[in-house]
Structure 1
């Protein structure tokens, strides 16, 4: 009996390709650093967790420059990016740049920077933090939400997209 040894596949590349086939919204999560300066990052890894209590989660790379700020500060804000925010989201996803340049951010009543023209603004606070491999899973309790009529930005197949608002016939 002969056995065939199959060479290992590059799971990392396949994983990235598989995740890029899943369309998602784009968020920017913000907080204030210990010096009071705004900190933030872009994330497509955002989802609802619970309705009672209202919980959402976002995954933050442990290598992100703002990682410690989200560990040290329990007051956060999540902005769902609008279709007009491609440049801003790109900046939020880039290391070593002023992430808050080019967007109109103001501090909320807690001192957390919020984007005034976000499609959705979620005021939240830390509920739990979990180890998630090379990421920290941030679970947040929702305190308040402001929903605008602006079309949201999507990320699909490694490109930004937007919906044309044409629902599929017969869907649900």
Structure 2
């Protein structure tokens, strides 16, 4: 068996330049660029399985444009789950995104990632934080928390929170499996 290099172009993953991709991979690459405008983070790795990539990418795109959650609420959930799975790249990226695009105070994002308690003045943000925290712990969601979440987010919002936790679990574990460091760039394509 030949010796594999310890690191590729994106953590352990060795990217295929776009102009050298097999047809099916290039199709998934083009599909991702169409939906996302770029091929970010774990999407680079998912191209190794083009069929799966084309099923996963629309979920991430949904959270960018159609979710019932605000950008701040999405970043609360994202930073909680990324912190849980210790994915260096995802934590690095979403710490900045949470503060800039999500408009969350830096000390709150830091507390979320570190697993420290924090709170939010906005009742929706607070219930998103509590619901996601309970699910990640793992803990049962008590009746009172469920009722507050249903009143503030509705069933669609609760589904958005739970599926975002699952989606970013996949993101985090993909990045962890390929040991993608915090400031990885990968091929510029």
TM-score higher than 0.5: no
TM-score by length of structure 1 reads 0.23
TM-score by length of structure 2 reads 0.21
* Higher relative helix content: 2
* Higher relative strand content: 1
